[in-house]
Amino acid sequence: MTDPSTTAERVRVWDPFVRFFHWSLAVAVLIAFLTGDELEDLHVAVGYFIMGLLAARLVWGVIGPRHARWWNFVRGPTAVKAYAWEVLRGHPKRYLGHNPTGGAMAVLLILGLILTTLTGLATQSAHAWKDVHEFLAYATLALVPLHLIGVAVASFQHKENLVRGMIDGYKRP
């Protein structure tokens, strides 16, 4: 289905749910990080919110529009490595949705957050999980700067503002 506001200059790529998911996830992860050691009630509440977001995104990846779907952007390791080389050589192919490395990063972030929230839940009933939960939280957080570098590099190489795309949903065709 073509969005009625799609024109020759711009095409709708990210639907409202993906944009809501992304920015509320980014804010929620920040709050969860800041409240980890104190403010446990808020930390746990935000953890549940993140779990809800992730569950909804998993389903949206099956029933959502084209660019939100898993099979539209999840590629195997060979394709991801090949695309990473294209990026390093400076002339990567442009994708409207996530490119193969961006898709891999999306999967790693989502997987990292699923494991982090599940072990957070486990920590509530058995304290022994706490170290695993913290390790996974920091490992996932360590991906965020790489994610931001990826977004910056792709924006630069294709001369387009991917951040604005994730805000208003549009990219050039």
Which residues of this protein are in contact with ligand HEM, per CB under 6 A? 18, 21-22, 25-26, 29, 57, 98, 102, 106, 109-110, 144, 147-148, 151, 162-163, 165-166
Least distance from ligand HEM to the Cβ atom of residue 128, Å: 25
The size of the chain, in residues, is 173
Is-contact 112 141, C-beta < 8 A? Answer: no
Is-contact 93 163, C-beta < 8 A? Answer: no
For ligand HEM, the closer CB: 45 or 151: 151
Distance of alpha carbon 29 from alpha carbon 33, whole angstroms: 6
For ligand HEM, the closer CB: 123 or 165: 165
Least distance from ligand HEM to the Cβ atom of residue 37, Å: 19
Least distance from ligand HEM to the Cβ atom of residue 123, Å: 19
Q: Which two structure tokens, joined as six digits, stand for 56?
A: 């909804």
For ligand HEM, the closer CB: 25 or 80: 25
The residue whose Cβ lies closest to ligand HEM is: 106
Helix axes 130-157, 77-89, angle to 10 degrees: 50
Least distance from ligand HEM to the Cβ atom of residue 51, Å: 13
For ligand HEM, the closer CB: 40 or 66: 66
